[in-house]
Amino acid sequence: IKINLNDGKVLRFKDVNGNDISAFEPGMTVVSDFFVKNEGTGDMYYRIYFSNVEGDLVNVIKVTIKDKDRVIYTGNMKDMDRVHTSAVDDILHINETKTLTIVFELDSNADNSYKSKSLSFNLTAEGTQVRNNPNKEFNK
């Protein structure tokens, strides 16, 4: 199993109109495209989650990850860790690349206590073999 997540490049977020962002304000939505590619020798199930999350904004960010128009994850960022995230409902075939879109929405009810707060994280992709793995289990 070998999975390539965006060639290791940092995500570049834009607002919904495609403009670069300088600040993230309550009610604002930002998006970034990225890809996952199966560079292994067998078909795989995969999952995407956040690791090394730091900062107070994690409590007020809703995340949606889409494959074109199909939502593959949605929920609060703080809940999208390795323990709580399961496999995507499709298979990533050998040499297949999927371009996905991640959407962050800052809760419109976030008060001024979040002003000047920060957020850092690693977006992580993990794969597991399809063969002999009907329950889509990942190594612990």
DSSP string, 67-94: ETTEEEEEEEGGG-STTT----SS-B-T
Q: Please give the full DSSP string across 17-44, using - where no structure is assigned.
A: TS-B-S---TT-EEEEEEEEEE-SSS-E
What string of pLDDT tens digits covers the 140 residues of the chain?
A: 999 999 999 998 898 888 888 778 888 899 999 999 999 999 999 999 999 999 988 989 999 999 999 999 999 999 999 999 999 999 999 999 999 999 999 988 887 778 888 889 999 999 999 999 999 999 87
Question: Could you give the CA distance from residue 120 to residue 2 in angstroms, rounded to a whole number?
Answer: 25
For 55, half-sphere exposure in the C-beta direction (CA atoms, 13 angstrom radius) is 18
Beta carbons of 11 and 32 less than 8 angstroms apart: yes
Render the burial of 71-83: b for 16+ CB within 10 Å, e for the rest.
Answer: ebbeeebeebeee
